[in-house]
Amino acid sequence: MRTQSFHKYKQAFTLIELLVVISIVALLISILLPALKQARVTARGVKCLTGLRQIGVGQSLYLSDNKEGFPWAFDIGNSYKSQYQKVYMTYLNDNKQLIQCPNSRWHKYDGNNYWQYAANPAIMWRSGSSGRPNTHLKDIGRDSEVIVFMDSSLSSESTPYANSFGKFWDRYSPYGSEYSASSTTLNDQALVYIGDNTDGWGMSDSPPKYKIRFREAGAYADNGQWVTSGLFIDGHAAHLTPDSILARNMRPNNIPQ
């Protein structure tokens, strides 16, 4: 009796079928990659706000230890010993990652404190050698409304730091002005220098040195992406657009003279 053997043959993909599969995979990748890229940017933006809040906690501890007096943003007269970029580090456990924006295109962690957030000049300006006393917490008056730090343009890739204070953050005064309820400019957009959303002012003292850096909305926040991070006096942090940064956000109730 004969036994009949059966052979099973696997059918291979045809070239056309293979090309269709490859095309579908390529299409899916093209759809998903921008979403994944944006998700990473968003995650870094959340991390940036978390870091700013921790800076806010460190600032509160410093104020508690120093009769609620703010340090200086630019301190030559005291050899930088009273500059926030130096004195706050003790309260941040010298964590250099907190002072650099996760969405920044440049990072550097060595013996230097490369702060990538600049201070509001109406709160922290120059040293006591200029004859101006420190601002105190009681001078602010509206802690949940006044911004103390924001993302700022960086010098260079080798020295990725921001200028210590944001000159012209309030378009009506290069070093800031006081809040007045009768002022007609309180709800005006504060920033005068927006321009190119870029880094790299080097050693120049030109306007790019004082610009807010809007780096929180796109991959490394290329030109045209207009979201920055800000820390308020009361310790909360938020993402801000140019039209949401108003003159009132720059002005404490009192600037000591």
Give 173 or 222, the one with higher predicted confidence. Answer: 173
Whether 94 has a pLDDT exceeding 60, the answer reads yes
The whole domain housing 134 covers 16-250
Between CA 84 and CA 234 the distance in angstroms is 17
What mean pLDDT comes out for the span 177-181? 93
Which pLDDT value is given to residue 131? 65
Average pLDDT over residues 195-208: 81
Residue 95: the pLDDT is: 95
Q: How far is CA 170 from CA 87, 188, 249, in A?
A: 26, 9, 9
pLDDT reading at 158 higher than 80: yes
pLDDT at 132 over 70: yes
Q: Is residue 10 part of a domain?
A: no
What is the predicted pLDDT for the residue at 152?
Answer: 92
- 235 lies in some domain: yes
**115 has pLDDT over 90:** yes
Residue 257 domain-assigned?
no
In a domain, 255, yes or no: no
Indicate the pLDDT class of residue 90, thresholds 50, 70 and 90.
Answer: very high
Q: Taking residues 119-133, what's their average pLDDT?
A: 79
pLDDT tens digits, 38-83: 777 778 889 999 999 999 999 999 999 999 999 998 877 767 778 9
Classify residue 69: in a domain, yes or no: yes
pLDDT bracket for residue 221 (50, 70, 90):
very low
Residue 189 falls inside a structural domain: yes
pLDDT score of 14: 81
8-42 pLDDT, tens digit each: 555 666 878 788 888 888 888 777 777 666 777 77
Residue 220 has pLDDT above 50, yes or no: no
- The C-alpha torsion from 132 through 183 and 186 to 71, rounded to 10°, is 10
- Work out the average pLDDT over 204-232: 77
Contact partners, residue 74, CB within 8 Å, separation at least 6? 83, 125, 126, 127, 164, 165
In whole angstroms, what separates CA 158 from the centre of its chain? 19
- Gap between the terminal Cα atoms of the chain: 115
Reported as a pLDDT band with limits 50, 70 and 90, residue 223 is very low
pLDDT value, residue 205: 81
9 assigned to some structural domain: no
Mean pLDDT of the chain: 85
Answer whether residue 180 shows pLDDT above 90. yes
Number of domains in the chain: 1
Q: Is residue 208 part of a domain?
A: yes
